[in-house]
Chain A
Amino acid sequence: MVRLSWLLLERVRNFRKLQTTRERLVARNAECLFAGDENIQVYSKLDGVPRLKNQYAIRLAKHGCPNRPFYHIVLAKTYDDRDTEIEQLGTYDPMPNINNEKLCALNFERIKYHIALGAYLTRPIRRLLGLSGFLPLDPTLLIFAENLRRRKAIEQKIKSKESEDSEKKTETEKEVD
């Protein structure tokens, strides 16, 4: 009999316990659909992709030694420390080995499960999943590649100009002689 009264008190005061939330990405101008609800919060980060309030994230946790990074691909909560985890979903080694290869391991079964329940993917993991063929390519990667190519073209032009100038100098010295 004592317990019933305790529950009634909770309901009357609208005591809400911690609720789990799930998040998902939303198109740019579709926030009006969710305007009527109090439980949803919409906000955007520098990436330009608006995302709902989230708890679970798949991200890189840095392990290793100084001057030798090694990343674990990890499911964690956004407010936790970088190196804590709920479940490990793979690894990524950014340093190439003897055969000039970078090794990356991904547990696709569990990644599918967590994405379906609304986990947020950070930018490096979006890039890795796009490169592996699991998801479509991330546009940030393509922009990065194009900028690299432009920089290399500019550097080649500078080098060719310097070589031409050095050749001209040697020719002028010979003429003087």
Chain B
Amino acid sequence: MTTLLHRFTVAKLLRVACCRSVYSGPEAYPVFSRQDFAEDDGTWEWKKLHNIRQRVVDIQNGINHEGDKKIVDDEARKVHLLPHKIYSKPEEYYPLTDVAKVVYGNKTKDPMPKGIKHKMDPDFIRPEVQDLLKSLTGRDPEIVFAEQTGLYTHMPRVRLLTTEQLNQEIKKMDEKFDEMLEMPPVMLEREEIEETIAFDELLDGYEEGKLIFTDITVDLKPDERCMVVREPTGLLRRAQWDERDRALGVYYPKCGRSLHKDPVFENPQVAFKNQFHKNILERILVEFVPDSKEFIHYTQMVYDEIDKESQYDLLRSTRFFGGLAFYLAKHKSIDGLLKNILENKSSLPDAADLVKLFCLINNESNTARNLKDLNNCDDFRIVQVYVQNDATMKKILELSLQTFQQIPQSAQNF
């Protein structure tokens, strides 16, 4: 029994001696790492490759040794095995990848042919015109922030504020006003694309329909995307605007746009009866591009209808009133709007703003010549000059002007 106990205790002691103790030095357990084996050349295969790579580097630099021809012939036959080139250093085999080059380097950016650009109406861009249009639209918060069907409305909140906090809240609302009353752009009609790439007569009659090809590379703007049509006669040409819009609607759809045309835009009588002019204009904004033929034609249709029936109050303090006023001023048919302002709204400064707009857009008219210093004249005088020179409904406008003439004289009598 004592011998067994001795052996058990001896094994324990041995185990303790093998484990690391506080007094064991750095060489208790040797640590092997790859650096220890790096100095070894390794097996004969690695040595052969190392020599060949050195030889290749020497050939590239111009140094010749014996047996270069054999190495070159062997390497030439192995071209299909190597990735794309002969690497002489490991840094070339594992290069630092520039993500931008790899992803964006091989892009098929196809600029529009013949340098077609989107052109804004030069009269619309002028800051003087923009200020006048903004002052004409008005800022009625009950109409701008009215309830819209389909959108979530929050419950009202009541808070106690200091005057400084109140002024900050008013500034925020002014910014929101500008967002809601942002005018859609008035642009010139876009030119049609007519460019042929190739004509293959031998393909005549291979199919009965057209083939439209679109480019689906990632991160391209719709203007840069290449779209090409092959016709059954064998003609290869670029796609026209109709085909481009349809293909973009198939592969890159937008919320609110549809591929087929709505008949509302051609037979809008029922909508006009129920006073849905604003809804139709919003629909046009979403579906069509402001460059296109359809956008310009349908908006002008709605503006003509409003001008005919003098329903200007429908668009007042909305984002579409600026386009209305610009269209009427350009086509010299302001009289209905003037009458509406003088009678229903009864504000002279708005009428004067309208006449100023007319003069800025039509510089060569009689009113513009007579009113060279617009800032020095009275509002009354400005409207009077217009009524005398360029108005078609002269008598009606003179009658409505007389009301503004009488008020100051009666005030003086007091």
Contact = CB atoms under 8 A, between A and B. Distances in A.
Contacts of A128: 213
Given A36-B77, A132-B230, A106 B213 contact: yes
Given A11-B45, A131-B211, A132-B230, A103 B206 contact: no
Contact of A141 (B77, B106, B206, B216): B206
Interface residues of A, number: 39
A158 interface: no
Contact of B206 (A1, A39, A100, A148): A148
B106 A112 contact: yes
A50 interface: no
Contacts of B106: 109, 112-113
A145 B203 contact: yes
B210 A101 contact: yes
A105 B214 contact: yes
A152 interface: yes
B205 interface: yes
Contacts of A105: 213-214, 216, 251
Interface string A117-145: 00000000000100111000100011011
B407 interface: no
Contacts of A146: 202
Contacts of B392: none
Contacts of A90: 216
A119 B62 CA distance: 36
B224 interface: no
B203 A109 contact: no
Interface in B202-224: 202-218
B197 A149 contact: no
B209 A102 contact: yes
A105 B243 CA distance: 14
A144 B78 CA distance: 40
B217 A145 contact: no
Nearest to A95: B209
Contact of A132 (B210, B216, B217, B228): B228
Given A103-B250, A106-B213, A131 B230 contact: yes
Given A37-B77, A96-B209, A108 B203 contact: no
A104 interface: yes
A162 to B, nearest CB: 22
Contacts of A145: 202-206
Nearest to A22: B80
A155 to B, nearest CB: 13
Contacts, number: 94
Contacts of B210: 100-102
Nearest to A33: B77
B81 interface: yes
Contacts of B228: 132-133
B108 interface: yes
Contacts of B214: 103-106
Contacts of A96: 208-209
A154 B21 CA distance: 103
B30 to A, nearest CB: 12
A107 interface: yes
Interface string B176-212: 0000000000000000000001101011111111111
A25 interface: no
A49 interface: no
A100 B203 contact: no
Contacts of B230: 131-132
B345 interface: no
Interface in B305-332: none
Given A132-B230, A137-B203, A146-B202, A100 B211 contact: no
Nearest to A19: B81
Interface in B59-82: 77-78, 80-81
Nearest to A12: B43
A141 to B, nearest CB: 7
A141 B203 contact: yes
A11 B49 CA distance: 15
Contacts of B108: 108-109
Nearest to A148: B205
Contacts of A112: 106
A73 B230 CA distance: 19
Given A22-B80, A105-B251, A133 B204 contact: no
A111 B259 CA distance: 29
B212 A101 contact: yes
Interface string B97-133: 0000000001110000000000000000000000000
A131 B228 CA distance: 10
Contacts of B247: 103
Contact of B212 (A39, A104, A137): A104
Contact of B217 (A11, A24, A109, A149): A109
Interface of A: 1, 8, 11, 22, 24, 34, 36-37, 39-40, 90, 96, 99-110, 112-113, 128, 131-133, 137, 141-142, 144-146, 148-149, 152
Given A105-B251, A106-B216, A149-B204, 8 more contacts: A8-B43, A11-B43, A99-B246, A102-B207, A102-B210, A104-B212, A107-B216, A112-B106
Among all A-B residue pairs, the 3 with the closest Cβ atoms: A145-B206, A132-B213, A100-B209
6 contacts: A34-B80, A100-B208, A105-B214, A112-B106, A132-B213, A141-B206
